[in-house]
Chain A
Amino acid sequence: MKLTIERAALLRALGHVQSVVERRNTIPILSNVMLKAEKGKLSLAATDMDIEIVERVPAQVSRDGATTAPAHTLYDIVRKLREGAQIELDAGSDRGSMTLRSGRSTFTLQCLPPEDYPHLAGGELPHTFQLTASELKQLIDRTRFAISTEETRYYLNGIYFHATRSNEMPVLRAVATDGHRLARVEMMCPEGAAGMPGVIVPRKTVGELRKLIDENEGEIGLALSETKIRFAFGEATLTSKLIDGTFPDYDRVIPTGNDKILEVDCKTFAEAVDRVATISTEKSRAVKLSLDKNTLVLSATSPENGTATEELEVRYNAAPMEIGFNSRYLLDIAEQIEGEGVQFAMSDAASPTVVRDTADPSALYVLMPMRV
């Protein structure tokens, strides 16, 4: 394999693929990135056995071939080369090493044979459909914060994507929950998605995916089976295993009859919560919401510091009530609301509360109260 490539192009592609490579590996080849030169393109691939990213970049290939080189080292080298530099990669016939030349620098990297490189990509992915980058971004960004990091309920460590019907309309939904709160976002079901199985996309994949979305506009091709999912962006492809588990029947925990409705300006509300919570030193910063006709009093107490209260003008016409929440959870949700108003539908101090953007019905959040 022998080729010449522009530093910026190589750096960008390496940047994408190397981030899936774990820092510590017991299987040596998993520390490497697979490099393959063919028909005027260099393709780079990296995997941690759960996620695989493949990206192709144009290069001047003078000899086709393939090898695998240490991903982090290669990335660091390319990063430190001068901007605008041309890089020559040359893996000789013995293939035990690869030489990288640029200007007056020469590096020789230990390589491992490409035949040993594990491939995740196999297997059929029968369900295919298209999403725009901004649609996928919405689905991810508005649910991601609720993904659980607690590992015993591993089936909560990702975003659950599935096709269903909502108000008689076919929709594609993304759901995440950590057992304390839940986020659900939906969009019109794209063509081809209706028959897909429900799949749980792991947290790490979501993170990698998010980086790729930022750098690619336009259409993303999705293909999935019950065990794998693939996202195809122009020249980059991310394939990931799915979490092998059953996502809980979340619909059951979303209350439908909550009739105590509070509507408040989202920004004002979030700022007030943030201010009031300042008083408590604990990790679990509890904030109490006391509701009466068209007024909301936020309050917090700390045995150490004292108390804080703030009164807000709101829209509320139901019976007076009090309910407590973890202020961080309130702020997390407020951050997801893009419109001006936020609506809380409550039942009582012990039951789940439903939060929505008053202007946007596509997203819904459920939050469990905190009790003292």
Chain B
Amino acid sequence: MSIRLLPPTLVNRIAAGEVIERPAAAVKELVENALDAGASRIDVVLENGGQTRIAVVDDGCGMSSEELLLAVERHCTSKLPDDDLLRIRHLGFRGEALPSIGAVSRLEITSRPRGSEAAWRLRVEGGEKGALAPAAHPPGTRVEVRDLFYATPARLKFLKTPRTERDAAVDAVQRLAMAWPQIAFSVTADEGRALLKLAPASDRRTRLAAILGRDFADNAVEIAAEREGARLSGLAGLPTLARATAKDQYLFVNGRPVRDKLLLGAVRGAYQDLLAGDRHAMVALFLELPAEEVDVNVHPAKAEVRFRDSQMVRGLIVGALRHALAAAGHRASTTVAATALHAFRAPPSMGMLALQPRPSARELAEAQALYAPPPAAAEPAPAAAEEPEPAELYPLGLARAQLHDTYILAETRNGFVLVDQHAAHERLVYERMKAALAANGVARQALLLPEVVELDEKAAALVAGRAEELAQLGLVLEPFGPGAVVVREVPALLGDKVEVAALVRDLADELAELGEAFALKERLEEVCGTLACHGSVRAGRKLSVPEMNALLRQMEATPHSGQCNHGRPTYVELRREDIERLFGRR
């Protein structure tokens, strides 16, 4: 066996295996190149999910004939002028994408530099570079990729259906488009059908609404926070807008879409006690920080990054989200009301009703008398003739009735709200318990047999290093030689079935990965949650009007009261316009 230098074509194909794993990856690389070239509009065409043909056309700076020849060579890039990997300002920096694509497909690039009259075309087929040919083209670049992976049939086998590949490609463009609102994007399918069409937007919210839907934009809070030179902006969905998967969490670092564990963990942390474990918040968050604070060169597809100060980044995200969500208070998402609206249906046949004469005033009065509560029978009259306050004063209005002993109907200034009494009360009890925990500290059960937990040396040091903070949460431990800690006291709230070793190991993992002791907080809050559920008024219990109003007033005063501990809404609101729409008055 002899060692030899691999021929460049093979090297490129190997690289392609990492960088270009599917059509969407090629699309992403090409659109990034267009963005790097300063384009103001980018058009993408996908044929057969991108497998037969991908075309990306931009109006960016373009390339001269010499540049064109270099662009398809390995490790040729215009984007690292000062050879400094620590200061990456473009999306591309490896000079790897074009040669990789060229190695596994039939690639054709046509380009005309801005300010030049001449356009040139270059073909690369399965890694074989063709000759330059003059062409006709407006300023900018057009890259066409045909028969992707024809040169690597093994890869071809792993592709999913054209439809799935196409969706992934559109998703890749959408993600980039979120980060670049001023730029126009389009994606067209082979038959000319528009899959995505985005006009230049003046701000990010407009762009996000165009991509993720109005519902998201209307039911998200604006995030804007800054810490030590890092800036976080974007939109965070209300907990009631949560999804079953984490797919709708869009995260960006310096304009680069990423799926980074640390960032996802921070988002989870921020929503931790607002969502049930299997629900996921919808967010689009943009983190901007000095290039030297972040290493983007850690993942072949650049989907992950590494931060110099990950604690700071995590703190920034958790802090900013929590703050904004708490400020949103009792707001529940309007999509909830929208879903409710759809459920109201007009009676199947209006004809019959129309034939009936309008009820006379007398009949109406009779009917009203029938439905009015019996005079001061069931309920003790609310404290001596207290003037009913005008509904305007309160966001959640005044209680008018209880339906099915389960829902409170309250009239608000411009509509009505329907409150799920159990869910709402549960949240109130829970928030109160949390406040008590924070104020009085966590009671600790001392252990008769202190438990030694074996960890690796690094993890043990990490956990022991945070002993003070953990003690505040009721877990008292100290180092026990290298690679172990000894637990002396545990939070009494967890009862006598705490798996101390498992808890400490989870904590060690989280401290290493996310920098915060979630496992413990989560368990404490979970217990609070269960207790709250048991300690709150059930559905089916009759409430008096003062009781109902008291509940509404407490909800207004309590943060996060818009959803119960499981992320379900505690109330829905129907605005007057909605009601009018229902009856065709609008």
A interface vs B, CB < 8 Å?
A: 148-153, 156, 177-182, 248, 250, 253, 281-284, 286, 303-304, 324, 326, 350, 352, 366-372
Chain B's nearest CB lies how many Å from the CB of A77?
37
A350 to B448, CA, bound (A): 10
Q: Which residues of A contact B535 (CB under 8 A)?
A: 281
- Cβ–Cβ < 8 Å partners of A179 in chain B: 447-449, 451, 496
Cβ-based interface call for B489 (8 A): yes
| CA–CA, A75 and B175, complex, Å | 65
Q: Report the Cα distance A286→B493, complex, angstroms.
A: 10
A177 is contacted by which of B433, B445, B448, B498 (Cβ under 8 Å)?
A: B448
- A151 contacts across to B, CB distance below 8 A: 499
Residue of B nearest to A372 (CB): B443
Apart from A150-B500, A283-B527, 4 more pairs, CB < 8 Å: A179-B449, A324-B443, A368-B448, A372-B443
Let me know if A284 and B449 touch, CB within 8 A: no
Do A180 and B447 have beta carbons less than 8 Å apart? yes
Q: Which 10 A-B pairs have the closest CB atoms?
A: A284-B492, A303-B436, A368-B446, A368-B448, A371-B444, A179-B449, A372-B443, A152-B501, A284-B493, A370-B445
Interface residues of B in 443-460 (CB under 8 A from A): 443-449, 451
Neighbour of B492 across the interface among A177, A181, A286, A367, CB < 8 A? A286
| Residues on A with beta carbons closer than 8 Å to the beta carbon of B447 | 179-180, 368
Q: Are B449 and A371 in contact (CB under 8 A)?
A: no
Nearest Cβ distance between residue A47 and chain B, in whole angstroms?
28
Which one of B449, B492, B531 lies within 8 Å of A253 (CB-CB)?
A: B449
CA distance A142 to B448 in the complex (A): 18
CA–CA, A125 to B393, complex, Å? 82
User: Which A residue's beta carbon lies closest to that of B530?
Assistant: A283
Interface set, chain B 516-548, CB cutoff 8 A to A? 527, 531, 535
- Residue interface mask B468-488, A partner, CB < 8 A = 1: 000000000000000000000
* CA distance in complex: A324, B495 (Å): 16
> Contact between A366 and B448 (Cβ–Cβ < 8 Å)?
yes
**A182 vs B447: C-alpha distance when bound (angstroms):** 11
B contact residues around A304 at 8 Å (CB): 432-433, 436
> B56 → chain A, closest Cβ, in Å?
56
CB closest residue in chain A, given B501: A152
A326 touches B445 (CB 8 A): yes
Give the distance in Å from the alpha carbon of A282 to the alpha carbon of B439 in the complex: 15
Q: How far is the CA of A150 from the CA of B432 in the complex (A)?
A: 30
Smallest CB-CB separation from B528: which chain A residue?
A282
Given A151-B499, A371-B489, answer yes or no on A284-B440 (Cβ-Cβ < 8 Å): no
B535 to chain A, nearest CB (A): 6
Give the distance in Å from the alpha carbon of A281 to the alpha carbon of B429 in the complex.
11
> Contact at B499–A284, with CB atoms within 8 Å?
no
**Please, which residues of chain A bring their CB within 8 A of the CB of B451?**
153, 179
B498 to chain A, nearest CB (A): 7
Task: Give, as a whole number of angstroms, the nearest-CB distance from B578 to chain A.
Answer: 38
Set of chain A residues within 8 Å of B501, measured between Cβ atoms: 152
Whether the Cβ atoms of B448 and A284 lie closer than 8 Å is no
**Which residues from chain B sit less than 8 Å from chain A, CB to CB?**
432-433, 436, 439-441, 443-449, 451, 489, 492-493, 495-502, 527, 531, 535
| Chain A residues within an 8 Å CB radius of B495 | 283-284
| CB-nearest residue of chain B to A280 | B443
**Please, could you name 9 A-B residue pairs with CB atoms under 8 Å apart, sorted by A?**
A179-B449, A250-B449, A281-B535, A284-B445, A286-B492, A303-B432, A368-B446, A372-B443, A372-B444
Q: Give complex CA distance A108, B500 in Å.
A: 51
- Write the chain B residue with the least CB distance to A350: B446
Contact (Cβ within 8 A) B492 A352:
no
Distance of B209 from chain A, by nearest CB (Å): 43
- The answer on a CB contact under 8 Å between B497 and A149 is yes
Contacting pair A152 B499 (CB below 8 A): yes
* B496 pairs with A149, CB closer than 8 A: yes
Contact A180–B499 (Cβ < 8 Å): no
CB–CB A303/B440 < 8 A: yes
In the bound complex, do residue A182 and residue B448 qualify as a contact, i.e. CB atoms below 8 Å apart? yes
> Considering the chains assembled together, what is the distance between the CA atoms of A266 and B543 in angstroms?
43
With A and B bound together, what is the CA distance between A324 and B492 in angstroms? 12
Q: How far is the CB of A258 from chain B (nearest CB, A)?
A: 14
Chain A residues whose C-beta falls within 8 Å of the C-beta of B440 in the assembled complex: 303, 372
- CB-based nearest A residue for B491: A284
Q: In the complex, are the beta carbons of A368 and B445 less than 8 A apart? A: yes
Instruction: Pick from B439, B445, B492: contact of A303, CB below 8 A.
Output: B439
Whether B496 contacts A370 by the Cβ 8 Å rule is no
Complex Cα distance, B447 from A352, in Å, reads 9
A16 to B535, CA, bound (A): 40
CA distance A307 to B268 in the complex (A): 37
How far is B445's CA from A371's CA once the two chains are assembled, in angstroms? Answer: 6
Closest to A249 in B: B449
Residue among A350, A352, A370 facing the most chain B CB atoms (10 A cut-off): A370
CB distance from B479 to the nearest CB of A (A): 19
Tell whether, in the assembled complex, residue A283 and residue B445 are in contact, meaning their CB atoms are under 8 Å apart: no
- Is A283 a contact of B500 with CB atoms below 8 Å? no
Chain A residues whose C-beta falls within 8 Å of the C-beta of B449 in the assembled complex = 156, 177, 179, 248, 250, 253
Most buried by B among A151, A284, A286: A284
Q: Which residues of B contact A181 (CB under 8 A)?
A: 448
Residue of A150, A180, A303 near B448 (CB, 8 A) is: A180
CA distance in complex: A326, B436 (Å): 18
Report whether A150 and B436 are in contact in the complex, using a CB–CB cutoff of 8 Å.
no
Contacts of A303 in B (CB 8 A): 432-433, 436, 439-440
Give the residues in chain A near B439, CB-CB below 8 Å.
303
Chain B residue nearest to A325 in the complex (CB): B445
Residues of B within 8 A of A148 (CB): 496
Interface-central residue, B440, B443, B501, by most chain A CB under 10 Å: B443
Query: Do residues A370 and B448 form an inter-chain contact, with CB atoms below 8 A?
Result: no
| Complex: A149 Cα to B495 Cα, angstroms | 11
How far apart sit A284 and B535, CA to CA, in the bound complex (Å)? 15
CB closest residue in chain A, given B453: A152
Question: Contact: B531 with A150, CB < 8 Å?
Answer: no
A371 and B497 contact, CB distance less than 8 A: no
- Closest residue of chain A to B495, judged by CB? A283
The answer on a CB contact under 8 Å between A283 and B493 is yes
Chain B residues whose C-beta falls within 8 Å of the C-beta of A178 in the assembled complex: 496
A352 to B439, CA, bound (A): 27
Most buried by A among B436, B444, B449, B535: B449
Instruction: Kindly list chain B residues whose C-beta atoms are within 8 Å of the C-beta of A286.
Output: 443, 492
Given known pairs A149-B497, A152-B502, A283-B527, the reply for A326 and B446 (CB within 8 Å) is no
- Output the least CB separation between B178 and chain A (Å): 44
Interface centre among B439, B446, B501, B502 (most CB of A within 10 A): B446
**How far does the alpha carbon of A181 sit from the alpha carbon of B492 in the complex, in Å?**
13
Q: From A248, which residue of chain B is reached at the shortest CB distance?
A: B449
Q: Within 8 Å CB of B531, what residues of A?
A: 281-283
Cβ contact within 8 Å between A371 and B493: no
For residue A366, which residues in chain B have a CB less than 8 angstroms away from its CB?
448
Chain B hits for A283, CB < 8 A: 493, 495, 527, 531
Report how far A350 CA is from B450 CA in the complex, Å. 13
- Least Cβ–Cβ distance between B62 and chain A, in angstroms: 65
CB distance from B520 to the nearest CB of A (A): 15
A178 CA to B451 CA in the complex, in Å?
Answer: 11
Q: A180-B448, A286-B443, A304-B436 are in contact. Are A150 and B493 (CB under 8 A)?
A: no
- Would you give the shortest CB distance from A276 to chain B, in whole angstroms? 15
Chain A residue at smallest Cβ distance from B498? A150
Report A190 CB to chain B, min CB distance, Å.
29
**A150 and B443 contact, Cβ closer than 8 Å, known pairs A180-B448, A253-B448, A286-B492:** no
Q: Which residue of chain B lies nearest to A182 when distances are taken between CB atoms in the complex?
A: B448
Report whether A370 and B499 are in contact in the complex, using a CB–CB cutoff of 8 Å. Answer: no
Q: In the assembled complex, how far is the CB of residue A367 from the closest CB belonging to chain B, in whole angstroms? A: 8
Report B-chain residues with C-beta under 8 Å of the C-beta of A149. 496-497
Q: For the complex formed, measure the closest distance between the CB of B3 and the CB atoms of chain A, giving whole angstroms.
A: 51
Are A150 and B499 in touch, CB under 8 angstroms? yes
Question: Contacts A150-B497, A152-B500, A180-B448 known; A371 to B443 CB distance under 8 Å?
Answer: yes
B492 contacts across to A, CB distance below 8 A: 284, 286, 326, 370
Q: Which residue of B lies closest to A349 (CB)?
A: B446
Report which of A153, A177, A281, A370 forms a contact with B443, defined as CB distance below 8 A: A370
